[in-house]
Structure 1
Amino acid sequence: MSPVEYKKENDLHIIKITGKSRLTPIVRDGEELFSATVQRAQSKAKLTVCINGCWYGLTDSGKADAFVGHDPVPSADTLNEGFALLGTGALHGHSAPNMFYIAQKLDYTWFMGQGDLTKNRGYYTGIGGLCPLVFKGLKYGDGNLYSKELPNAKLTGEPLPAHKPFLTQRNNNRYAALSRLDNRTGRGGIGFTPTADIVVIAQEHGVGSVSFDTFRDTFIKHGCTNACAVDGSDSVFLWYDGGFKFMSAENKDETQTFGIGIRAET
């Protein structure tokens, strides 16, 4: 089995899988707590680590159900912002063209891209609706940053073509919003290195004190040239080494339907 390392760094849980690993999206299709879906998926696929997935909303009936009860909301009432591609070829979710995805081919090659995850790119599995942290070695963040002062440089949006060689950070509005939240906000994400090592990092909601920039930079510190954040706050959970390191809030457990599983391969 590929070597797996777990450590706690400041308030961040860090799992690194060195070598071959398989991306397995976790999808709830029914009416049960998502934690039960995760545990069943973990047991069936022998997943090494599991975290939550993309941002999502609820239908009106789903909101009413979540507000008045403590039972699971039907999966059809959860509106995921992004697609999950299963190894069966099934594609679940909704379009989120401004978000990013992480995907894998059957030969274990990893990919990150912007836009909707589709079946016609040769991917075996994937998860979309994610926030970019670093993409092809370029940091994403709150505002465009450049290595030198440039006239008429765009601080947000698409940089001028002549300025792109000097770009050190690309603005992303979702990232900017997340970076302005309290440092105690829950955070989670997944990244991969040029040698296909996988890094999963998570901070429990209300417990940690790590800024979003530090969260991003921790992926880079561990060698990731591509990394994305999942839905944060009290949506974040982390399963590792036989159980949950921490769980999402009760109302999120009742409404979540997408998660990410990674299995270290032999």
Structure 2
Amino acid sequence: MKHPKGFTPAIYLLIATSMLALSALGYKSFQIASQKTNLSPTITPSPTIYLSSTPIIFSTLPPPTTITPSTGIIRVSLTNQNQPLTDTTLTLHIRNEIIQEEKIYNNTNSLWEIRDVNPGKYKVTIPFIYTNYYSPERNCQGCRNQEDKSENQVCGFVFSLQAGDNVKISCSLRKATQLNLPNSAQPDTLPPRTYIFYPQPNGTITYKTDGKVCAYENPPTDNGASTEGIQTFYKFDDRDWQSGIGYLCADSLPNGPHTISFYSKDKAGNVESTTTFPFTVDIPGN
């Protein structure tokens, strides 16, 4: 029997069956496509990294401490033709020109090393007897604003010293030829001679030496004879006579005008005439 539109029921059944088959085929293709997609390599996710909110502190050593020196060093060497000069009658004088103080150091090994010297202006000298030594050759390494104070009977410099300075002073003296008397010479009948070089007549003493007021003398000469056993006698003003060699000192002497009297006596008993001259003491704080 025909449908009013012209198709039989069998035809309708065939069309419905075909549509169901096509639907099933499309679903199968979708599954296969999905399976192919799942064949891609599996990617393992990276582990989660958690950052701490606490800052990382790296330990470091502190920078080395630099110690700045506050004092200086003064080194002085004494030689005779490049050999140590061990004459114990020679002494080193270091005077602080600012505070007017002086220290005296004995000669033990011809080399002095004075440490912890405060900054300031200094006068460093080595007095000597012109009849024993001559022609001082000198050098002052590391000296600031140096002034050569060497004369015919002293070797030395005036200079400024700053913290950290290392001053090296060298004095080279040559021994003078001594006059030897022949064996047939007459016995010593001449008196010795004494020379005070500080202060000069009518001069001024402006500083203390080891806490005392002192005049300086060159060791007395004795006309070519041996100077062994010579004694110098001296007094300030009308005080008592004293004896000494090199440093003629008073424990105290007030600022103002004074006189010094002196003479020497040799081992043969010859006595020098007394010499007296005026001078002034003007020491700050005295």
TM-score bracket for the superposition, by shorter chain length: under 0.3
Flag the structure with larger Rg: 2
Of Structure 1 and Structure 2, the greater helix share is in 1
Using CA pairs under 8 Å that are at least 6 residues apart, name the structure with larger relative contact order, 1 or 2: 1
TM-score normalised by L of structure 2: 0.22
Of Structure 1 and Structure 2, the greater strand share is in 2
TM-score normalised by L of structure 1: 0.23
